[in-house]
Amino acid sequence: MQRIQLLAALAVGVAAVPAVATPNLVSNGSFENLTNGLGQLGYNTNAVGWTTNGYNFVFGATDADSVGSNGVYGNLKLWGPANGSANGLTASPFGGNYVGADGAFGVAPIQQVLTGLTVGAKYAIKFAWGGIQQYGFDGKQTEQWEVSLGGAPSQSTAIYDNPSHGFSGWMNERFVFVADGTSATLSFLAHGTPTGVPPFSLLDGVSGTAVPEPATWALMFGGLGLVGGALRSRRHAAVAA
């Protein structure tokens, strides 16, 4: 009987806790939905929901260094174990397609318009990224992403210093922006140096969610407090009995 009462108290407390999960406002953030298979975005394929006219490609999960991806200047591959570089190139943490953007040639942003925003609210943009070099070229490079949301100040990842034929490994990033409109353009712009040794910035797993306000967290912890209080009162009653 006491166990049933404890479970009932737990259910009441949990019901008092508001849901804090927020929907992902970014569509096709892992670039799986393509109009014409792998290729150069804006040239021979597109990622549904995104726009770009730069030298930006979509690669398959594990074949960027073997099959590669076709673009305006033919097939493009990245350095990796399949073509002679033991740089540790792996699939992204999300396991599927990912974008590779040249940060020193034909540079243009990859963009998507997010809607349903609240002016003045905070939104977290999360993604996985890395730095690598185009196959067939040599020399040290740097890679970096610049990210913006509407008119809010842009934010940038750290600059990765990459050795010749190197791969940075996948890194996770989270930026928080304050919305200045009910809709805003989410933009990813690759930066790389130097020219002539194509530095590619990789991107996958993009998501955008509202950041809960402090009042919401207070309500949640208040609900958890109800749960704890109910459990303590049941324990005290059991001891007194």
CATH, residue 202? 2.60.120.260
Reported as a pLDDT band with limits 50, 70 and 90, residue 20 is low
Containing H/E element for 85? none
Q: Do 47 and 160 have their domain in common?
A: yes
How many domains does the structure of the chain reveal?
2
Q: Do 164 and 204 have their domain in common?
A: yes
Of 10-24, 42-56, 112-126, 206-220, the poorest mean pLDDT is in 10-24
Q: Do 4 and 48 have their domain in common?
A: no
Of 8-12, 16-20, 174-178, the poorest mean pLDDT is in 8-12
Q: Do 65 and 166 have their domain in common?
A: yes
Q: Do 75 and 167 have their domain in common?
A: yes
In the sheet that holds 56-59, the strands lie side by side as 39-40, 56-59, 98-102, 199-210, 122-133, 171-178
Q: Do 149 and 228 have their domain in common?
A: no
Instruction: List, for residues 118-175, the tens digit of each pLDDT value.
Output: 999 999 999 999 999 999 999 999 999 999 999 999 999 999 999 999 999 999 999 9
Q: Do 136 and 51 have their domain in common?
A: yes
Q: Do 96 and 150 have their domain in common?
A: yes
Averaged pLDDT for residues 12-21: 49
Cβ neighbours of 14 (radius 10 Å): 12
Q: Do 147 and 72 have their domain in common?
A: yes
Q: Do 108 and 204 have their domain in common?
A: yes
**Whole domain around residue 12: which residue ranges?**
1-20+218-241
Averaged pLDDT for residues 104-109: 98
